[in-house]
Structure 1
Amino acid sequence: MDALNDIEAYRALKQGNASALSLLYDRHGGVVYRLALRLLGSSEEAEDLSQEVFLQLWQKQTYDPARGSLSNFLLTLTRSRAIDRLRSRGARGRFLQRWMREGDVGIAAGSPFERLAADERSERVQTALKTLPEAQRQALELAYYEGLSQSEIAQRLDTPIGTVKSRSRQGLLKLRNLLFDLLG
């Protein structure tokens, strides 16, 4: 199997040979991980992303050898998925900055009116969180109040990471709908 080039190994993978995936991971996993780490800045997220990239290579089989090398395909896929994660992280961060209190930092320095408005927003967020299903609320609270990554949440809850991601996304969408008037 080691004698196969990338294209031959990919063809073997398409035919269901799981050892071909292992071979391709051994060849390209390090560079995929390093790029993910450089872009995301977190070893856990880089590991998750590397796994996601190779899982997509195996399941979706979208690589076309006529369009370029497998290495370039994997790096492009890694970059694209990392950018998606960074955008998602940015959206979550903006949501947090607007709606969730972080130990009264910055609020205490404002006017009484600003503090009152912040308290009211915080109370609305807490009330909205309580309306979410337990699993969604728990995933969001662990992420935003305890600062856990999705991998850490999955580990703590003994739940697949895909389930944690789905719960978080569904919870955020429900919160956005519940708090739409505050987003203005």
Structure 2
Amino acid sequence: MDLSSPDRHSSEPSSKSDAALLDGLKAKQPAALGCLYDRYGSVVYGVALKVLHSQPEAEDLTQEIFLSLWQRPVDPAKQGHLLRYLIVMTRSRAIDKLRSRSRTLNLVQRWGQNVTAAPPAHTPIEQAVFHERSQQVRQALTQLNDRQRQAIELAYDAGLSQSEIAQKLHQPLGSVKSWTRQGLLKLKQLLQDSID
């Protein structure tokens, strides 16, 4: 079979059944993945966007879903339900991402409250713990890249929304959301490592 022929490459895979394309995935044929992406990518993206309310995260999740399909193809016997399978998997992973985002935000907010709240008259031990936590957060912030640190500091120290940060930095909103998300995930990991 000549895969370099434009007619064969563009028309034949798109006319194949899901089962045939899934067999192609098992044989590691990129054209099969491309056809499934063309067929179902917009549905997967739509489900991800509806749950996550974030274009960059929905795009990332769409890529993750099809990468997962490439790495672990679905059994062709289930091909009649491939679309349903993709929708359920996308929704499930999107909900997992929301939970993770919420946990990360809560962790950083708890740490932030402990660090930024002006301590009342505490015992020397409580003051030492407060100072140590403050140092840990400041140290963790220095390990972020400039964009991530700036986005997080503007959000938490200056109280700006992500839209306001994007305007202040003259950057796209999607970039600011991405920097904040990546920075929060890295902060979470750094702070958890310092607890362990």
TM range (shorter): 0.5 to 0.7
| Aligned-CA RMSD value | 4.0
Q: Does 1:127 align with 2:135?
A: yes
Match of 2:52 in 1: 40
Where in structure 2 are there 5+ consecutive unaligned residues? 1-12, 122-126, 156-161, 163-173
Tell me: higher relative CO, structure 1 or 2? Use CA pairs within 8 A at least 6 residues apart: 2
Alignment of 1:1-184 (within 5 A): 1-61=13-73, 63-67=74-78, 69-100=81-112, 113=120, 123-129=131-137, 131=139, 137-138=144-145, 141=149, 144-145=152-153, 152=175, 168=185, 172-179=188-195
- 1:100–1:125 Cα contact (<8 Å) kept: no
Where in structure 1 are there 5+ consecutive unaligned residues? 157-163
- 2:61–2:94 Cα contact (<8 Å) kept: yes
| TM-score normalised over the length of structure 2 | 0.63
- 1:129–1:137 Cα contact (<8 Å) kept: no
The structure whose Rg is larger is 2
| TM-score normalised over the length of structure 1 | 0.67
Aligned mates of 1:90, 1:38 — CA distance in 2: 17
Aligned mates of 1:83, 1:73 — CA distance in 2: 15
- 2:140–2:190 Cα contact (<8 Å) kept: yes
Q: Percent sequence identity over matched residues?
A: 35
Q: Please state how far the C-alpha of 1:141 moved relative to its aligned partner.
A: 3.3
Q: Please state how far the C-alpha of 1:60 moved relative to its aligned partner.
A: 2.3
